[in-house]
Structure 1
Amino acid sequence: MKDARIVLDNEYNTYYAGQTLNGRIEYEFDSPIKVRGIYVRFKGEANTAWTETKEEQTSTQTDQAQYETRDTMHTGHEEYFNIMYYMLGSAEGSEIEIPAGKQVYNFTCTLPPVLPSSFESQYGYVRYTLKVTLDRPWQFDHHTKLAFTVINPLDLNLNNSYKEPIHLQMEKTFCCLWCASSPLTVDVRAPVSGYCPGQVIPINVDIENKSNVQVHLVQVALRRVVTFRATTPTSATKILREVVVEIQEGPAPAGSTKHWDMRLEVPSIPPSNLVNCGIIDLDYDLNVVCKVSGLHQNLTGKKYVTIGTVPLMGQLAVPTAPPPRPVRDDPAVLPVSPGPPMDSYGGDTSGWTVPGAQPPYQSLYPTLTQPVYKVSPYTARTIQDREDRNHTQVVGPTSFAPCYPTYAAVQPPPLPQ
């Protein structure tokens, strides 16, 4: 076999839960090949894994205490769907000879309407893949595998709490022997609590430094706070806090007053919560750190923010049609209906996510510009798993990264003057 190539019906390989995925496998054979058949498998799953190292005492004799380091691997797993069918032949059928040259086989799959968004991290992932297999009698099967993105919409307009402004107030005095300084006061504001990738968060920082300690830097970071859960060998939890993007200003000398207008652009990242995933929780916060001089402890504070897939359309914006019944208890999660299947796979791509097509919520907000889908900075080391053997060919980028909708053209409301 010269080549194997998987082509999906949109250029971003990105779908919303409930949509229909269509595509084709293109083979190029340099000679005829005998197979039992060709089948495709669609799979959606979440996995968590991390190693915990502990030092345990192996001897109870106090004068000859001995310790041993033990590593425990914690893992968790959820499966959302696993769909397989033959495009040619069958598992029990007779041999079929495929002629040399280019051969094309089409496939389709309607995704379940309730799925968590794609997510990648070093300790776990929510991932969706399809794998096409040449089922060959008495020989190694050949597998061709591709990962694609699934998005569970989170409409910021459907929950009023996302329209609430962010206001963080911090104050600290510094002690020297028995004397306390006048306070350092820091006031941080942002116009709303919900944003989408591509938007710029306007942040006002006001400092009144009546103390005798200099503020070297004020760092404002958007962090993702991920909680991973494992079920094997026992229940365990791991929390990861990592900076997504960070901006900074400074200094603010002792006795000074400072005002900074800061702008923090949200990169292409998955929506908050990972609704419908039971082993990974995803939150975001704005974390503020004021780094001060000397041996004094820094001043810190945080406020949670929500990252959505449908931006706020103004304080009076409401959907022009009643939304479907929400999934679970989150009023911002917007379920969608399956999209129409494709009639053809030739020529230009024509899936619903390519330019000119409408995302499933577009009809609710006629003035909303269409999103630009961008690759996430968080990638998978590999999409191969324990079921994949040496004869599995991964197509697409070497390191898979999901794509998410971005809205640089839709900016949040300004801060009040």
Structure 2
Amino acid sequence: MGLKECEIKLDSPINTYFAGQTVNGTVMYSFDSPKKVRGIKVRFLGEARTSWVETEKVTKEDGKTENERKDVTGHEEYFQITYYLLGGINASETELPAGAHAFPFTCALPPTLPSSFEGEFGHIRYTIKVTLDRPWKFDQDTKMAFTVISPVDLNLMEAAAQPGKLVMEKTFWCCCCATPPLSVVVSIPVKGYVSGQSLPLLAEIDNKSSVEVEKIKFQFKKHTAFHTTAPKMTKKNEKVVGELAIGPFNKSEQRTVRQSLDIPPLPPSNLDNCGIIDLHYALDIVCEVSGFHTNLGGAIPITIGTIPLRDYKPQAPESQQSIDISMMPTQPVSPDNVGGAVGWNMGGTSLYPNVPPPNFSESDYQAKTIKDREDNEHTRLVGNQDAFAPRYPVYTFQPSAPRID
């Protein structure tokens, strides 16, 4: 049989790195009998892909119209590095004896990589593939994915520290007469947050009208746009990642309500270096009124970062998460190894003494199986055999943190 087992181990216990860091690892082979090989090579690949099926009407020669399904795709490659750990493309055969063999490898990630992302119609994915190059036989491949995070320091974004406000006002017509207005003002203290924080909501309702407000619905949404290149097309997708509702509010009622939404593990709002996937977040507000009247609605844009605002004291979320230091990357985050982005520590000295270090959590989206585009019957996955979910930074704030009204 020869090959008994192959395993890829990385120096990060959660296979997560920041753009600009160096990935170090070892590929470990186990043979139950001597194995002849020409070489062992490793390939690092960063790429984005989009795809879906479009249906268009096509007129046939007989004049009949039929629906025709067509695959549309998009692709970008950010980097690809391939080199041999043993032997070479023109090397002579080498016989590896039975037993265990370890081959170390390393790769410096470019500092401009977009963050890992998994979506319904596309993904940004980083993979390592190790190939056992066998003469006169099928190569044997082992492939795994790892997460890359492009740091987003909210302190470097002026708009993130600005408060957000949405003012909605409407006058209704009842019995041919206009009622006094319904006024709804929603405010948030800042527009930039990190996963693990709570988004404080302040809603001021002044219902001078004769129409009842059934509820005010808040939805924190992730908006994604996927683009293809052959041909050029766009498909938009939105997903609610958090929501709550308040109400009802009676006629002629005036009230102020404070609530908060927890920010779940999410990819940061920085897919700027990806040309085929756009990502942004928004807080959608809908004021649902009774009767046949039109609802009021609007949105406040939200930025999700990986480093929280230094001067913003967040409200602690209701569900606290524990900090697991072992879940942090094995290398310190500093301008030297994240392409100039400032991390939460530098040389062991914290730049943000009042901000805890993040842990890393998987998103709730379970990605499709990682398939090798170079179809090979010997390719298999490492780790989770069925799905890949990137891990994103999540901060844990202490319950004693003051609330911002």
CA contact (8 A) 1:352 1:358 kept: no
How far apart in 1 are the matches of 2:14 and 2:371? Answer: 20
Aligned twin of 1:259: 256
1:315 Cα offset (Å): 6.3
How far apart in 2 are the matches of 1:369 and 1:315? Answer: 14
How far apart in 1 are the matches of 2:389 and 2:37? Answer: 33
- Count of aligned pairs: 377
1:206 Cα offset (Å): 1.9
1:366 Cα offset (Å): 4.4
Structure 2 counterparts to residues 6-405 of structure 1, below 5 A:
6-56=8-58, 66-176=64-174, 178-232=176-230, 234-314=231-311, 353-354=329-330, 358-360=332-334, 361=343, 362-363=345-346, 365-367=351-353, 368-397=355-384, 398-405=386-393
Which ranges of structure 2 fall in alignment gaps of 5 or more residues?
314-324, 335-342
How far apart in 2 are the matches of 1:237 and 1:13? Answer: 32
How far apart in 1 are the matches of 2:268 and 2:195? Answer: 9
Which ranges of structure 1 fall in alignment gaps of 5 or more residues?
317-348
Question: In the TM superposition, what whole-angstrom CA distance separates every residue of 1:203-245 from its partner, at most 9, and x where no partner exists?
Answer: 111222222332222221111111222110x222222222121
- Secondary structure of 1:2's counterpart equals strand
Greater RCO (Cα-Cα under 8 Å, separation 6 or more): 1
How far apart in 2 are the matches of 1:53 and 1:252? Answer: 46
Question: In the TM superposition, what whole-angstrom CA distance separates every residue of 1:260-282 from its partner, at most 9, and x where no partner exists?
Answer: 22111111111113121111111
1:5 counterpart (4, 7, 16)? 7
Q: Aligned letter for 2:397?
A: A
Aligned CA RMSD, in angstroms, stands at 2.4
Q: Aligned letter for 1:197?
A: S
Q: Aligned letter for 1:129?
A: T
Aligned twin of 1:331: none
Distance 1:180 1:67, change over 3 A: farther
Tell me the TM-score normalized by structure 2: 0.87
CA contact (8 A) 1:375 1:402 kept: yes
How far apart in 2 are the matches of 1:43 and 1:410? Answer: 39
CA contact (8 A) 2:327 2:359 kept: no
- Secondary structure of 2:155's counterpart equals helix
Distance 1:378 1:350, change over 3 A: closer
Q: Aligned letter for 2:211?
A: V
Q: Aligned letter for 1:81?
A: F
1:83 Cα offset (Å): 0.6
Q: Aligned letter for 1:67?
A: T
Q: Aligned letter for 2:259?
A: M
How far apart in 2 are the matches of 1:56 and 1:206? Answer: 54
Q: Aligned letter for 1:358?
A: P
How far apart in 2 are the matches of 1:406 and 1:307? Answer: 11
Question: In the TM superposition, what whole-angstrom CA distance separates every residue of 1:98-157 from its partner, at most 9, and x where no partner exists?
Answer: 122222111110111111111110111111000111111222211111111111111110
Is the deviation greater in 398-407 or in 202-211? 202-211
Distance 1:237 1:211, change over 3 A: same
Distance 1:106 1:228, change over 3 A: same
Q: Aligned letter for 1:372?
A: N
1:413 Cα offset (Å): 7.5
Q: Aligned letter for 2:141?
A: H
Aligned twin of 2:319: none
Q: Aligned letter for 1:8?
A: L
Q: Aligned letter for 1:407?
A: Y
How far apart in 2 are the matches of 1:410 and 1:283? Answer: 28
Question: In the TM superposition, what whole-angstrom CA distance separates every residue of 1:285-342 from its partner, at most 9, and x where no partner exists?
Answer: 11111222233322211011111111001069xxxxxxxxxxxxxxxxxxxxxxxxxx
- Secondary structure of 1:161's counterpart equals helix
CA contact (8 A) 1:190 1:415 kept: no
Counting aligned pairs with the same residue, the percent is 47
How far apart in 1 are the matches of 2:327 and 2:217? Answer: 42
How far apart in 2 are the matches of 1:390 and 1:34? Answer: 20
